[in-house]
Structures are given as structure tokens and as C-alpha cells.
């Protein structure tokens, strides 16, 4: 690309010039990252080891946890390293990789959440056909389809972003390579590129969002017809965590990308990007664990098993 000769690296947003605040930023981001790492790894381990969780719902939940781990790992470690080393730079190729992976993992997250909504719809509205519709092959195909479509979307998104010429400086007013901030650095007229990217993104994300909403409208209609209070509670308890995760992710991402862009970075820009890039991967395991008895039971069994094997080893030694 011709713009590679103009810009060879980008400078990310520095939290502060005060060394103590840089260390504080590193510690805060480290705690958030470790919380996401531990929470999602526990979900993955529990679903993998507990045979009772080898169902479509938990298969997709494990996929979501894997994507969340990648999603938060794309941005936080680099920002932490820059604060620790008192630097701001990220290479041009590193920025391209960050944009591609961040877009891919974020869109794959939403695609998996859409598939999970369909899974809940079939389980509650068509329970007699659930095993036939949501068989192993269908689950693998849906998960693969979500990831393949996200790769194609991310490739198109990344190509359109880096096809423009960057000669308006190389300072990105964000702690990672955020597409809206990169488009501000274009020396050519990026209006058409930005409009095409935004329109395509809105259509894609709204399609997924509409599918989720339609699924839940049908689910709630079916749940309200359940005669027993216990049955309604059980149905709602499996849907509310998913609906909470979807709302948390979609609304923060929409606010971050669809709000009017300005030449200067506001505190709102930073808060929104921190919120949708870091909060969902941390909160997803918490939301699903707190509202899900099967996950809590699997985690308890996992902890007891680890303690038992540890005690056995110590006795043997």
C-alpha cells in the first residue's frame, strides 16, 4: 500500500506523563485482564470436563469464552506494555493486525450470541424438535459459519480502513488502533469510505440484533404461556443472562461507533471504548456463573476435584 511509505508506525494515547499514573494504569489493566482470563478459562474448563455440560448451549458458551479471551487479549496487553515501558508506539503491521483481530473477534462474539438466542428459541418454543434441530453437526456448522462470516467481514473492514492514505499525523487518540480514530488521520477524503463501512456494519449488526430480538419476543410469548410458576422461572433464568450479555455488548458498541466523530478525543470516547472492549469479556463469565446453577455446580466439582488431587499428591509424597 502506498500509505506504508508515509506512516510506518502509530502513536497510541498516553494515559498520563506521570510515571506513577502509568504504573497505576498498568496495574488496573492487569487486574481487569486477569479477571477476564480466570473467568473465561474457568468456563472453558468446566464445559470441557463436565459431561453434563456437553450440550449445545454450553458448547456455544465455551465458544463465546474463547472469543472473549481473544477479544480482550488483542488490546489490553499492548496498552499495558506501553505503560510499563513508557512508550506509545505500535507498528503499522501491528495496527493492521489489531484492527483485523479486534473486528473479527467482536463480530464473531455477536454472531455467537445470535446463535445462542436461536438455541434458546428452539429449546423453549420447539422442545420436541430440539435434539433433531440442534444436533452436534448443526452446532458445529453454526459456530463455523459465525466465525467464517466474521473473518470475511473483518477482512473487508480492515482493507477499507487501510486503503486510505495516512498523512494527517500518526497519533491515534485511543489506547488501541480504533477505526474511527484512524479515519481521522486520513489526508484523502475518507467520507465515502467511512460511509460505506458504517452502512455495511449497521446493516450486518442490525440484522443480528433483529434476529436476537425476534427470537426473544417468541421466547417470552412461549414462556408466558407456561402454566407453572416454576417452569416460567426456569425458562427466564436461562434467557436473562444471555439477554443481559447481548444488551451490554451491543449498546456500548453502537454508542461507540455511531456517535458523531470529533477532531478531539473526549472522555466519553475513552469510556465507551474501554467499556465495550473490556467490560463484556470480564462480565460474561460472572453473569453466566451467577445465574446458572449447572455452571456453578460444575465449577464447585472442578474446585473440589483439584483440592482432592492436590491433597492426594501431598499425602503420596
CA gap 105, 102 in Å, rounded:
5
The pLDDT value recorded for residue 267 is: 63
Give the pLDDT band (50/70/90) at residue 310.
Answer: low
Of 179 and 33, more confident: 33
Which of 1-5, 36-40, 96-100, 162-166 shows the lowest per-residue confidence on average (mean pLDDT)?
1-5
Mean pLDDT of the chain: 81
pLDDT (tens digit per residue) in 239-267 = 777 777 777 777 777 766 665 555 555 56
Q: How confident is the model over 92-128, as pLDDT tens digits?
A: 999 999 999 999 998 999 899 899 889 988 988 888 8
pLDDT band per the 50, 70, 90 thresholds, residue 2: very low
Residue-wise pLDDT tens digits, 201-245: 777 777 888 888 888 888 888 887 877 777 777 667 767 777 777
Q: How far apart are CA 207 and CA 203, in angstroms?
A: 6
> Which pLDDT value is given to residue 256?
64
Kindly indicate the confidence band of residue 4, based on its pLDDT and cuts at 50, 70 and 90. Answer: very low
Ranges of each domain in the chain: 2-316
Q: What is the pTM of this model?
A: 0.85
pLDDT higher than threshold 80 for residue 66: yes
pLDDT at residue number 29: 92
Is residue 3 scored above 70 in pLDDT? no
Task: Provide mean pLDDT across the span 163-172.
Answer: 78
% the chain with pLDDT above 90 = 28
Scan for cell 444471555, then name that residue.
Answer: 242
- Out of 12-16, 95-99, 312-316, give the one with best mean pLDDT: 95-99
Residue 225 or 24, more confident: 24
Q: What does CATH list as the number for 2-316? A: 1.20.1070.10
Which pLDDT belongs to residue 5? Answer: 46
- Give pLDDT, residue 14: 81
More reliable by pLDDT, 54 or 181 = 54
At 185 the pLDDT is: 81
pLDDT at 303 over 80: no
Predicted confidence at residue 279, as pLDDT, reads 82
Amino acid at each position: 500500500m502506498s500509505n506504508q511509505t508515509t506512516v510506518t508506525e502509530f502513536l497510541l494515547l498516553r494515559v498520563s506523563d506521570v510515571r506513577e499514573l502509568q504504573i497505576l494504569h498498568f496495574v488496573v489493566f492487569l487486574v481487569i485482564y486477569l479477571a477476564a482470563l480466570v473467568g473465561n478459562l474457568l468456563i472453558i474448563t468446566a464445559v470441557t470436563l463436565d459431561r453434563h455440560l456437553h450440550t449445545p448451549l454450553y458448547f456455544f458458551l465455551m465458544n463465546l469464552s474463547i472469543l472473549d479471551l481473544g477479544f480482550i487479549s488483542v488490546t489490553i496487553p499492548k496498552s499495558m506494555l506501553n505503560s510499563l515501558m513508557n512508550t506509545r508506539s505500535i507498528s503499522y503491521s501491528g495496527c493492521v493486525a489489531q484492527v483485523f483481530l479486534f473486528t473479527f473477534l467482536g463480530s464473531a462474539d455477536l454472531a455467537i450470541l445470535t446463535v445462542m438466542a436461536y438455541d434458546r428459541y428452539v429449546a423453549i418454543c420447539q422442545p420436541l424438535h430440539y435434539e433433531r434441530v440442534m444436533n452436534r453437526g448443526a452446532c458445529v456448522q453454526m459456530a463455523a459459519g459465525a466465525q467464517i462470516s466474521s473473518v470475511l467481514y473483518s477482512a473487508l473492514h480492515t482493507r477499507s480502513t487501510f486503503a486510505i492514505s495516512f498523512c494527517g499525523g500518526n497519533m491515534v487518540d485511543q489506547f488501541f488502533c480504533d477505526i474511527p480514530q484512524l479515519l481521522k488521520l486520513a489526508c484523502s477524503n475518507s467520507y465515502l469510505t467511512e460511509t460505506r463501512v458504517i452502512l455495511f456494519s449497521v446493516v450486518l449488526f442490525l440484522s443480528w440484533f433483529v434476529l436476537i430480538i425476534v427470537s426473544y419476543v417468541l421466547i417470552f410469548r412461549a414462556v408466558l404461556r407456561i402454566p407453572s410458576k416454576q417452569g416460567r422461572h426456569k425458562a427466564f433464568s436461562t434467557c436473562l443472562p444471555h439477554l443481559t450479555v447481548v444488551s451490554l455488548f451491543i449498546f456500548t458498541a453502537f454508542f461507540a461507533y455511531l456517535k458523531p466523530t470529533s477532531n478531539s478525543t473526549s472522555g466519553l470516547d475513552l469510556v465507551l471504548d474501554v467499556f465495550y472492549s473490556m467490560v463484556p469479556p470480564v462480565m460474561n463469565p460472572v453473569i453466566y456463573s451467577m445465574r446458572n446453577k449447572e455452571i456453578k455446580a460444575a465449577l464447585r466439582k472442578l474446585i473440589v476435584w483439584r483440592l482432592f488431587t492436590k491433597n492426594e499428591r501431598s499425602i503420596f509424597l
